[in-house]
A and B are shown apart, each in its own frame.
Chain A
Amino acid sequence: SQQGEEDPQALSIQEGENATMNCSYKTSINNLQWYRQNSGRGLVHLILIRSNEREKHSGRLRVTLDTSKKSSSLLITASRAADTASYFCATGDYGQNFVFGPGTRLSVLP
């Protein structure tokens, strides 16, 4: 079964609004990473959060991790049209597994 699953599958907001995406996973993890992908291009790493961390910030991005609920969230504040992309979470466990979720497709309307 899939390790990471993002929610919602698609999200459409107005420029300036905040966007929140969630990721749930099933097994114990070593770390969780968020990536962004513009249409048909490679992925760009956004944030890595380790299992002993609860929150990390990077510019307008805020990631939280709740290991008791096996979930993470990515918040993009004051969104811009350029934030339009697909966002993926990926989890690494204590073995050799590294699994991406299906992604959330974010559309920021000007």
Chain B
Amino acid sequence: ETGVTQTPRHLVMGMTNKKSLKCEQHLGHNAMYWYKQSAKKPLELMFVYNFKEQTENNSVPSRFSPECPNSSHLFLHLHTLQPEDSALYLCASSQQNALSDEQYFGPGTRLTVT
């Protein structure tokens, strides 16, 4: 266990559905991240939050909407997704930011869009 939990672990949704992914860290970290991992592609950084403020948005489509209500919780709200959005979505946290700190990853949510 890394101290980072994600729910649900698996999610199947239709293109018209709205769902949310949840991430929680019990490590007292100040930075949290969302990554997308597709088959045969490198891990893609989607969003970065430092002290609850979003500091990075790597040109992610607006159908992905992050929310960080406090430094321990991070959500990824999904709506009108496309089949190509099917992937493993990983949450991570670090003490400050990734430039100088190691990241602790959750187990991921395997998302399938039908």
The residue from B41, B42, B43, B100 contacting A92, defined by CB atoms under 8 A apart: B100
User: With an 8 A cutoff between CB atoms, is A31 at the interface?
Assistant: yes
User: Which residues does chain A contribute within 8 Å of B107, judged by CB atoms?
Assistant: 41-42
Q: Which of A64-103 contact B (CB under 8 A)?
A: 88, 90, 92-94, 96, 98-103
Whether B45 pairs with A99 at a CB distance below 8 angstroms is yes
Whether A33 pairs with B102 at a CB distance below 8 angstroms is yes
Whether A43 pairs with B56 at a CB distance below 8 angstroms is no
The residue from A44, A93, A98, A103 contacting B2, defined by CB atoms under 8 A apart: A44
Chain A interface mostly: strand
Chain B: interface size category: 20 to 34
Whether B43 pairs with A40 at a CB distance below 8 angstroms is no
User: With an 8 A cutoff between CB atoms, is B66 at the interface?
Assistant: no
Q: Count residues of A near B (Cβ-Cβ below 8 Å).
A: 24
Write the nearest CB–CB distance from B26 to chain A, whole angstroms: 15
Whether B104 pairs with A92 at a CB distance below 8 angstroms is no
Whether B90 pairs with A42 at a CB distance below 8 angstroms is yes
* Complex: A107 Cα to B96 Cα, angstroms: 34
Q: A43-B90, A45-B104 are in contact. Are A103 and B99 (CB under 8 A)?
A: no
Write the nearest CB–CB distance from A107 to chain B, whole angstroms: 17
* 16 A–B pairs (Cβ distance < 8 Å), ordered by A: A31-B100, A41-B108, A42-B4, A42-B6, A42-B106, A42-B107, A43-B103, A44-B105, A45-B104, A48-B101, A88-B42, A96-B48, A96-B56, A99-B45, A100-B42, A102-B42
